[in-house]
Structure 1
Amino acid sequence: MRVFILGGTGAIGSPLVRELVKRGHDVRALARSEASAAKLAAYGARPVAGDIAAPEPWVARMPHVDAVIHVACDVDSEMGKIDAHLVDILLPSLAAQPAKARIIYTGGCWLFGATGEEIATEATPLRPLAAFAWMLPQLRRILAAPEVCGIVIHPAMVYTAAGGVFDRFAREARQRRAIRVVESADVRWPLVHSEDLAALYVAALERAPARSSHIGAAVEGLSVGRIARAFAKRFASGHQEPHIISADAIAAELGDWARGYARDQRLSGAKARRELGWLPRHLDPEREIASLP
């Protein structure tokens, strides 16, 4: 397929572009800088100059595509307006394509509330973190649009062994500092490795029906205390127990969006496994942390 990627150099987009190229798809990706264009070209994609904040010029010259995958996001306070305008411009353009195009939109685990002992599924009502509530009108609009084949992926917390949501843990452990966790060591995070998430997007591109949503959770829920202790052990930190900080403190440091780190969640990826044949390979984050060089 000819696939156009928005956000192709980010934590989700980079492995996605590489996976699509490996699977033989013709990948075009938006690049807002020469550095991003070079990175995309190195992955095997064709960069297209443009910015999601000003979609009119590049949408007007966008070639015929079979699908658009939207994995671009920012924690900027204007992101809601930017995303709404992007969808305003993008949907009519896709409607004019020779064949009905697929569009895959990215939601996230923080659109779900704290789950306690329940395990959230695609049927669970959404209760978004305030900082990401702007996503709801857009994902609902895309799923309802008759002119496209709309699909939504809800990634869990995205990690690599020492990156993604584990980046701060790794840095603090290497610095021999106490690893900070928000609100409680018992808070659970649903997790997905970036490579497994890329495989899910490709499966959705190739097999998901229109108006479907899929949760990308390979690990239903792992406590942040266990994650922190795994890093402390690997780097022989003198602080084996995590240091608890408040949600207010992390919000003051990083922004209000970071209150999501305090959400105790368990999410199921069973539907994606069952319906799309998704087979995540990274199922033991603690073992991956222990194997870090």
Structure 2
Amino acid sequence: MQIFLTGATGTVGRAVLARLLERGHGVTALVRSPESGARVRAAGARAVSGDIREPRAWIEEARAAGTLVHMAASFDADAVQAERRLVAALKDLPADTARPFHLVYTGGVWLYPAGRPAPLRESVPFAPLPAFAHVANAIHSLLSLRHIALSVIHPTLVCAADGGPIADMREAAETGTPFVTRAGLDTLWPLVDADDLADLYVRAVEARRFRLSAFGCGIEAVPVSTLLRLVSDHLGLRLDLAHAMPDAAAADMDAEAGYALSQRVSSAQAEKLLGWRPRLRSPEALVEALLPVTG
């Protein structure tokens, strides 16, 4: 298959790019800088210069590929307009009822409510934080486009060796500073390994379903206190939590507010519909895999 990929140099995007190439797919990646282009080409993909805020400049490249995997996102002042422009550009694509254009779109667990006793499932109505409302609106608009085969992946908190809450905890422990977050010790975080999540994206690409919504969740829920203890014990270093206060004046762009949500998430739909089997399914296994201790 030919794939057009945005966000190819991000934490998950890099893993998705590598997995697509391993599977033999051809990938064209949108890049903003010469440095990003060099990294993409070194990985084995083709690079196209452009900006996610100006999709009409590159949407024909995506249409020629037949599948767009949209992983780039911003939560700045331009975010709302960028998603509206993307939806408008996709709306204007020529309709092909025999083979609809395939879009694999990135939603997120913070589009969903917190505090439910049962694990969240994809059928639960959106209740997005203000900073994520434009993403929910974009999904609703995309669902109305019958010439688009839409697959939406909703990642939970993504963890990698070089990014995400576990890596941030490690940095705090090694520098002797508290781990600063909006969460409390009892807040429940659903987690997923970046490589496991990349496998889910590639499965969604290859399945090419007309309408799909799936959580990317390897670990249903873990209390922040447990994660802190596991990282601290694994490293043999002290690790304390410091609670960060929100900036009420910037609520519309406050993506960090999601860390305060206490959520429990089911991966049943991704497993049933796509055969996804995340490798790392316990917080102990995740910490062990991402924080190898040397010496």
Q: Which runs of 5+ in 1 are unaligned?
A: none
Amino acid at match of 2:79: M
Q: Which runs of 5+ in 2 are unaligned?
A: none
**Could you tell me how far apart the structure 2 residues matched to 1:250 and 1:270 are?**
36
Deviates more, 1:180-189 or 1:69-78: 180-189
Work out whether 1:24 is the aligned partner of 2:43: no
- Taking the TM superposition and a 5 Å limit, the aligned residue runs for 1:131-146 are 131-146=131-146
2:215 corresponds in structure 1 to 215
**Could you tell me how far apart the structure 1 residues matched to 2:274 and 2:98 are?**
26
Q: How far did 1:183 drift?
A: 4.1
* Identity percentage of aligned residues: 33
Q: How far did 1:63 drift?
A: 6.0
1:271 corresponds in structure 2 to 269
> Do the aligned partners of 1:149 and 1:211 also contact (CA within 8 Å) in 2?
yes
1:201 corresponds in structure 2 to 201
**Could you tell me how far apart the structure 1 residues matched to 2:102 and 2:60 are?**
18
TM-score by length of 2: 0.90
Q: Structure 1, residues 220-277: CA drift from partner, whole Å, max 9, x if none?
A: 11111111112222333234xx32414427998xx62211111000011111101110
Q: How far did 1:45 drift?
A: 1.1
2:76 corresponds in structure 1 to 76
- Taking the TM superposition and a 5 Å limit, the aligned residue runs for 1:58-137 are 58-62=58-62, 64-93=64-93, 95=95, 99-137=99-137
Q: Secondary structure at the match of 1:260?
A: helix
Q: How far did 1:36 drift?
A: 0.8
**Could you tell me how far apart the structure 2 residues matched to 1:123 and 1:201 are?**
19
Label 1:201 to 1:76 Cα distance change in 2 as closer, same or farther (>3 A). Answer: same
**Could you tell me how far apart the structure 1 residues matched to 2:194 and 2:79 are?**
23
1:284 to 273, 279, 282: 282
**Could you tell me how far apart the structure 2 residues matched to 1:42 and 1:226 are?**
39
Q: How far did 1:197 drift?
A: 0.7
> Do the aligned partners of 1:2 and 1:65 also contact (CA within 8 Å) in 2?
yes
Q: How far did 1:150 drift?
A: 1.1
Q: Structure 1, residues 171-220: CA drift from partner, whole Å, max 9, x if none?
A: 10111223334342110111111111111111111125212211111111
**How big is the alpha-carbon RMSD for the aligned residues of Structure 1 and Structure 2?**
2.3
Q: How far did 1:166 drift?
A: 2.4
TM-score by length of 1: 0.91
Q: How far did 1:114 drift?
A: 0.6
Amino acid at match of 1:126: F
1:261 to 259, 262, 273: 259
> Do the aligned partners of 1:27 and 1:46 also contact (CA within 8 Å) in 2?
yes
> Do the aligned partners of 1:100 and 1:149 also contact (CA within 8 Å) in 2?
yes
2:57 corresponds in structure 1 to 57
Q: How far did 1:147 drift?
A: 0.9
Work out whether 1:248 is the aligned partner of 2:251: no
Work out whether 1:158 is the aligned partner of 2:155: no
**Could you tell me how far apart the structure 2 residues matched to 1:142 and 1:97 are?**
16
> Do the aligned partners of 1:157 and 1:189 also contact (CA within 8 Å) in 2?
yes
- Taking the TM superposition and a 5 Å limit, the aligned residue runs for 1:166-205 are 166-205=166-205
Q: Secondary structure at the match of 1:4?
A: strand
Q: Structure 1, residues 98-123: CA drift from partner, whole Å, max 9, x if none?
A: 84221011100000111342210011
**Could you tell me how far apart the structure 2 residues matched to 1:266 and 1:288 are?**
17
Q: Secondary structure at the match of 2:259?
A: helix
